[in-house]
Structure 1
Amino acid sequence: MAIQTTQKVLSVKDAIESRHSIRRFVQEPLPKEDLNQIFELVRLAPSAWNLQPWRFHVVTDSDLKEKLQEAAYGQQQVTSAPAVILAISDMEDVLANLTETVHPGLPDDRKQQEVANLSSIFGGMSVEERAQWGLTQTNIALGFLLLAIEGLGYSSVPMLGFDQEKVKELLDLPEHIKFASMVPFGRADAEGYEHHRLALDKTVTFH
Structure 2
Amino acid sequence: MNAKAGALPDINLEEFRKVVRSRRSIRRFKDEPVPKEVLDDCLELATLAPNSSNLQPWEFYVVKTPKLKTKLADACLGQNAAKTAPVLIAIVARPDTWRENARLALEEWPENKMPSIVDKYYRKIAPIHYNQGPFGVLGMAKKAAGLVVGLSRPVPRGPYSPNEMKIWATKSTALAAENLMLALRAHGYDSCPMEGFDECRVRKLLRLPRKGLVTMVLAVGKRAEDGVYNQQYRFDQSRFVHYL
Q: Give the alignment's TM-score, normalised by structure 2.
A: 0.75
Does structure 1 residue 197 correspond to structure 2 residue 234? yes
Does structure 1 residue 27 correspond to structure 2 residue 31? yes
Equivalent in 192, 211, 223 of residue 176 of structure 1: 211
1:93-133 CA distance string (max 9 Å, x none): 23223122354335275454122211111113443332221
- CA distance in structure 1 between the aligned counterparts of 2:16 and 2:213, rounded to whole angstroms: 28
1:101–1:198 distance in 2 versus 1, CA, 3 Å? farther
1:171-196 CA distance string (max 9 Å, x none): 11122111221110100113412111
Q: Displacement, 1:31?
A: 0.9
Partner of 2:93: 89
Stretches of structure 1 lacking an aligned partner (at least 5 in a row): 1-9
Q: Displacement, 1:22?
A: 0.9
Amino acid aligned to 2:239: K
- CA distance in structure 2 between the aligned counterparts of 1:205 and 1:111, rounded to whole angstroms: 35
Equivalent in 105, 110, 128 of residue 104 of structure 1: 110
Amino acid aligned to 1:129: E
- CA distance in structure 2 between the aligned counterparts of 1:40 and 1:134, rounded to whole angstroms: 19
Equivalent in 101, 113, 119 of residue 127 of structure 2: 119
Q: Displacement, 1:64?
A: 0.7
1:42-66 CA distance string (max 9 Å, x none): 1211112111112111100111111
RMSD: 1.8
- CA distance in structure 1 between the aligned counterparts of 2:131 and 2:214, rounded to whole angstroms: 22
Q: Contact conserved, 1:12 with 1:147, CA < 8 A, in 2?
A: no
Specify the structure having the higher radius of gyration (Cα): 2
Partner of 1:206: 243
Partner of 2:154: none
Question: How many residues end up aligned between the 2 structures?
Answer: 198
**Secondary structure at 2:40's aligned position in 1?**
helix
Partner of 1:140: 175
**Secondary structure at 2:21's aligned position in 1?**
helix
**Secondary structure at 1:104's aligned position in 2?**
coil
Q: Contact conserved, 2:55 with 2:101, CA < 8 A, in 1?
A: no
Stretches of structure 2 lacking an aligned partner (at least 5 in a row): 1-13, 133-138, 140-160
Q: Give the alignment's TM-score, normalised by structure 1.
A: 0.88
Identity of aligned residues (%): 31
- CA distance in structure 1 between the aligned counterparts of 2:71 and 2:227, rounded to whole angstroms: 26
- CA distance in structure 1 between the aligned counterparts of 2:166 and 2:37, rounded to whole angstroms: 32
Q: Contact conserved, 1:90 with 1:178, CA < 8 A, in 2?
A: yes
